[in-house]
Structure 1
Amino acid sequence: MAGSIEQGISQTHGRTHILHFLVRLPRPTDQVWPSLSTPEGLAAWFTPVDVLQPRLDGTVTLGDLGTGRVTAWDVDRIAEYTVEGGGRIRFHLERDGETGTTLRFTHEFKGEVETEPGWRTRFERLIDSLNS
């Protein structure tokens, strides 16, 4: 399984934008989790992380997106970060067969912070990092 970005949906409600992606990853959840829940893992494909307290209500600083809180945390399943200026970023992992993982991703933000092509590029980097 090489990994794939199967779905990207963009919605707008007033000034709030919501991006949803369904990404199939070539590794089991316990091997994907560190890519979403550690400073080294996130920096490898997404953004540098200055601070990450891996627990509910922990502090997080994601590169140039800003500082905020860990707003959901369920080890090996859900990591959600809400940062000022960057909105709410949620990673939800589900088992996909014996050796794969499905990532259900949501990014909710106001203004023009992110784009669907920007996240596609990031997810391609994530898939590449898991394949190497």
Structure 2
Amino acid sequence: MSGSIAQGTSQTHGNAHILHFLVRLPKRMEDVWPAVATPEGLSGWCTAVGFLQPRLDGAVSLPELGSGRVTAWDVDRVAEYTLEGGGRLRFHLERDGDTASVLRFTREFRGEGENEAVWRTRFERLIEYLGRG
């Protein structure tokens, strides 16, 4: 079973950027959650993790993306990391039948270096990562 990555959308306001993706995943929300909410999961497909305190207002360090706080935490559904300098990653999981889920992803950042293609590649790695589990 494979997942699919819907077309991402991006908005730019000055040097502030917002990316949105809808990713259909061939695993249940509960099975996807560790991939977006644990150091082992995130480092398996997305980015290195210096540390992550898995709770609201916990500290997070993603060396490639920045450090900050956990600003939303609803186990098995929502993990949001707000990083210094105005960056944010939000993973929102929803059920898609009994055996699949949908990830609604938002990335806000300033400056350059990230774009739809970078995140599309990351989500392809996520689908591969989930397939190994």
TM-score bin (small chain): over 0.9
| Runs of 4 or more above 6 Å deviation | none
Alignment root-mean-square deviation, CA: 1.2
Supply the distance in 2 between the matched residues of 1:68 and 1:62 (Cα, whole angstroms).
Answer: 9
Shift of 1:13: 2.1
Q: What one-letter code is carried by the residue in structure 1 that aligns with 2:78? A: I
Query: Any idea what SS the aligned residue of 1:43 has?
Result: helix
2:87 matches 1:123: no
Give runs of aligned pairs for residues 20-99 of structure 1, distance below 5 A.
20-85=20-85, 87-99=87-99
Q: Which residue matches 1:15? A: 15
Where does the alignment leave 5 or more consecutive residues of structure 1 unmatched?
none
- Partner secondary structure for residue 64 of structure 1: coil
**Does the C-alpha gap of structure 1 residues 85 and 47 become closer, same or farther in structure 2, counting only changes over 3 Å?**
farther
CA-to-aligned-CA distance 1:84-106 (integer Å, 9 cap, x gap): 25710000000001100100000
Tell me the amino acid that sits aligned with residue 13 of structure 1.
H
Give the drift of 1:50. 1.1
How far is 1:59 from its partner?
0.1
Name the CA distance, whole Å, in 2 between partners of 1:110 and 1:81. Answer: 15
Q: TM-score, normalised by structure 2?
A: 0.94
Distance in 2 (CA, whole Å) between partners of 1:61 and 1:97 is 34
Distance 1:63 1:14 in 2: 25
- The whole-number CA distance in structure 2 between the counterparts of 1:125 and 1:85 is 27
Partner of 1:108: 108
Pair 1:4 & 2:30 matched? no
SS of the residue corresponding to residue 6 of structure 2 reads strand
User: Unaligned regions of 5+ residues in structure 2, if any?
Assistant: none
Q: Post-superposition shift, 1:67?
A: 1.2
Write the deviation string for residues 49-107 of structure 1: whole angstroms up to 9, x where unpaired.
11100011100001222210001110000000011257100000000011001000000
